[in-house]
Amino acid sequence: MSFDYDLFVIGGGSGGVRAARVAAGETGAKVALAEEDRYGGTCVIRGCVPKKLMVFASEFSGMVGDAQAFGWDIQPGAFNWDTFHGKLVAELDRLEGVYRNILKNNGVESFDQRAHLVDAHTVELADGTRKTAKHILIATGGRPVVPEFPGSDLAITSNEVFHLDKLPDSILIVGGGYIASEFAGIMNGLGVKTTQFYRGAQILRGFDDEARGLVCEEMRQNGIDVRLGTNVLEMTKEGDQIRVKATDGTEDRFEVVMYATGRAPNADNLGLEALGVERGRKGEIVVDAYSQTAVPSIYAIGDVTDRVNLTPVAIREGMAFVETVFKGNPTPVDHELIPTAIFTQPEMGTVGLGEEEAAAQEPIEVYATTFKPMQKSFAGGTQRVLMKLLVSKATRKVLGCHIVAPGAGEMIQLAGIAIKMGATKEDFDRTVAVHPVMAEELVTMRQPVRTA
C-alpha cells in the first residue's frame, strides 16, 4: 500500500517539530506536519521561553537594592511593560520563524491548519484535504483549564498573561504548582501587588517538603501574600476590579485573576475514540514505552500523553520515536531521574526523590544545609539557600538532590549528570569544592543532619 507520506505529525510544538525534522533530515523520510496555531508550541510561544524572559525582567528590581549595598549610587526606576512586551512579541515572532525554517530546511512539508484522524493512516486537515501516512504522530500538547464556578470566566490563564494590555496594580494567582508559583514571583518582582491562593497545605506539591517550604517562606519574605488552604468561592466584576470571595471568609479586589490550577491534554475531537486509541483518566493518550498507542500506526508524544510534561521530555520522546520507527533501533523513553528547575524566586533545582519519597522507599541519610549566600548576606539581605542530598544507606547512592538558590536550575543540570550516573555520597565527597560558590556545600557536607 502506498501513502502520501512516511510520517504525518499533528502539532508543531517541542516534540512534534523535533520528531518531524529528525525523521526527515536524518532518515530521509517523507514527512508532513500540521500546526493549527503557532510553530514552536506551548514552550516557545506561551510557556518556558516567554516565562523565563519575564523572570529575567522581574529579577532586576531586587538587584538595585543589592547594587546600592555594594556601593553603587543607583536608584530603582519604573518598569515599562510596553517596552518589554514589544520586545517579547518580536522575540517570539523571531523564534516562530526559526521553527518554521527548521522544518522547511529539513524538507518537512507543513500545513498551517488543524488536523484530525480519519483512520489509522489518514488525517484530514481543516480545509477538508485528506493525507495518508504510514505512521501518524500525535504531538498536540496541552492547554490550561479553569474550573467552573460563579465568575470563573473572569479569570485569565498562562495563555493570556504574556499579553496583558498593561501591568495590573494587583493580581491574584490561583494554584500551587510551578506555573502559579513562578508567576507569583514574576508579578511581585515587576512591582504588582501579588496574592497567591492555594487550596493545599503547601505549594509545589510533589517536591521535597523542606525545599518547597523554604521557597514559600522566601516568597512571603519577598512580599507575596501566599494564602495556603484557601480557594476561590466566587468572583464578580466591580468596575475595573474583580471581587473575589474566598473560602477563608475574606473578600478582596484584584485587577487581574490568573488561574494556574491545571492543564488538560489536547486529545479531544481528534477522532481517536472511533479508531480505538485508548485514553486515560485525564483524557491523555495512553502509550507504551515506545510512545505507541493501541493502534500500531499511531504514536503520541509530549504533553498529550501526560507522562512528564516538560519540553526536554517531549523532545526526548520525539527522538526515541524516530529512533524506534525510522532507524530500526527500538528505544524506550527513560523517564527516570529527570533534573528540573522551578523558576520561582528563589529558584529551585531538583533531581530524584524528595526526602519523604526516598524515606518511604528505603533507609536514608539526609545531608542538608541552609545558609545566607555571600552576595545577599553582604548586601544585608535575609535570604537563605538550601543544599540537600538524600543518600541510600544501603548503596550510598545519591537518591535525590534539591537546591533552593539563585541559579539552582543551572546547578541541578550538572548535579543531574552525576546522579544519573549513579554517583554515591563518597563520589560527591571525593570531588574538590569550587570556592567560593554556593554549590560547594554539595561536596562538603560531612555529617547527615538526620536519618530516616
Ligand X SMILES: Cc1cc2nc3c(=O)[nH]c(=O)nc-3n(C[C@H](O)[C@H](O)[C@H](O)COP(=O)(O)OP(=O)(O)OC[C@H]3O[C@@H](n4cnc5c(N)ncnc54)[C@H](O)[C@@H]3O)c2cc1C
Residue numbers annotated as active site = 435
The answer to whether residue 311 forms part of the interface with ligand X (CB under 6 A) is yes
The answer to whether residue 261 forms part of the interface with ligand X (CB under 6 A) is no
- Closest distance of CB 87 from ligand X, Å: 19
The stretch among 24-32, 213-221, 300-308, 360-368 that binds ligand X (CB under 6 A) is: 300-308
- The strand pair at 31-34 and 109-111 is best described as parallel
The answer to whether residue 204 forms part of the interface with ligand X (CB under 6 A) is no
- How far lies 218's CA from each of 46, 111, 223, in Å? 27, 47, 9
The answer to whether residue 11 forms part of the interface with ligand X (CB under 6 A) is yes
Distance CA 402, CA 346 (A): 13
CA neighbor of 94 nearest in space, from 160, 44, 23? 44
The answer to whether residue 140 forms part of the interface with ligand X (CB under 6 A) is yes
**DSSP designation for 104:** H
179 three-class SS:
helix
**DSSP designation for 153:** G
Centre a 10 Å sphere on the Cβ of residue 399 and count the other Cβ atoms it contains: 23
The answer to whether residue 55 forms part of the interface with ligand X (CB under 6 A) is no
Distance CA 4, CA 248 (A): 59
- Per CB under 6 A, the list member of 115, 192, 242, 366 interacting with ligand X is 115
At 48, which helix (H) or strand (E)? helix 48-69
The answer to whether residue 92 forms part of the interface with ligand X (CB under 6 A) is no
- Would you give the binding string for ligand X spanning residues 391-420, x where CB under 6 A is met? ------------------------------
- How far lies 36's CA from each of 111, 212, 387, 435, in Å? 8, 37, 43, 50
Q: Show contacts with ligand X in window 347-376 (CB under 6 A).
A: none
Report yes or no: 411 and 403 within 8 Å, Cβ to Cβ.
yes
Q: What pairs with residue 89 in β-bridges? A: none
The answer to whether residue 42 forms part of the interface with ligand X (CB under 6 A) is yes
- Closest distance of CB 233 from ligand X, Å: 26
Name every residue whose Cβ is closer than 8 Å to that of residue 439 and which is 6 or more positions away in sequence.
Answer: 387, 403, 405, 411, 415
- Per CB under 6 A, the list member of 158, 194, 261, 324 interacting with ligand X is 158
Would you say 186 or 244 has its CB closer to ligand X? 186
- Closest distance of CB 196 from ligand X, Å: 15
Would you say 11 or 349 has its CB closer to ligand X? 11
- Per CB under 6 A, the list member of 9, 20, 34, 411 interacting with ligand X is 34
The answer to whether residue 68 forms part of the interface with ligand X (CB under 6 A) is no
Bond from prior residue into 296 cis (ω within 30 degrees of 0) = no
The stretch among 6-14, 166-174, 277-285, 378-386 that binds ligand X (CB under 6 A) is: 6-14
Instruction: Give me the phi and psi of 58, to 5 degrees please.
Output: -75, -20
Bond from prior residue into 346 cis (ω within 30 degrees of 0) = yes
- Closest distance of CB 113 from ligand X, Å: 7
User: What ranges make up the beta strands (E) of 19-167?
Assistant: 31-34, 109-111, 115-119, 122-125, 130-138, 142-144
- Closest distance of CB 144 from ligand X, Å: 7
The stretch among 35-43, 64-72, 283-291, 367-375 that binds ligand X (CB under 6 A) is: 35-43
The stretch among 22-30, 43-51, 378-386, 396-404 that binds ligand X (CB under 6 A) is: 43-51
Distance CA 68, CA 75 (A): 8
Centre a 10 Å sphere on the Cβ of residue 250 and count the other Cβ atoms it contains: 12
- How far lies 339's CA from each of 172, 310, 333, 401, in Å? 30, 11, 15, 9
The stretch among 311-319, 357-365, 391-399, 416-424 that binds ligand X (CB under 6 A) is: 311-319
- Per CB under 6 A, the list member of 5, 8, 9, 12 interacting with ligand X is 12
The stretch among 53-61, 302-310, 360-368, 397-405 that binds ligand X (CB under 6 A) is: 302-310
- Closest distance of CB 178 from ligand X, Å: 7
The answer to whether residue 51 forms part of the interface with ligand X (CB under 6 A) is yes
- Per CB under 6 A, the list member of 266, 291, 324, 383 interacting with ligand X is 266
- Closest distance of CB 74 from ligand X, Å: 30
Distance CA 394, CA 365 (A): 10
Give the number of residues in contact with ligand X, rule: CB under 6 A.
36
- Per CB under 6 A, the list member of 309, 370, 375, 431 interacting with ligand X is 309
Report yes or no: 370 and 449 within 8 Å, Cβ to Cβ.
no
Would you say 140 or 392 has its CB closer to ligand X? 140
- Per CB under 6 A, the list member of 9, 117, 171, 179 interacting with ligand X is 179
Distance CA 431, CA 108 (A): 46
Would you say 20 or 214 has its CB closer to ligand X? 20
Residue 361 grid coordinates? 522507599
Residues engaged in binding ligand X (CB under 6 A): 10-16, 34-37, 41-43, 47-48, 51, 114-116, 139-142, 158, 179, 266, 270, 302-304, 309-312, 314
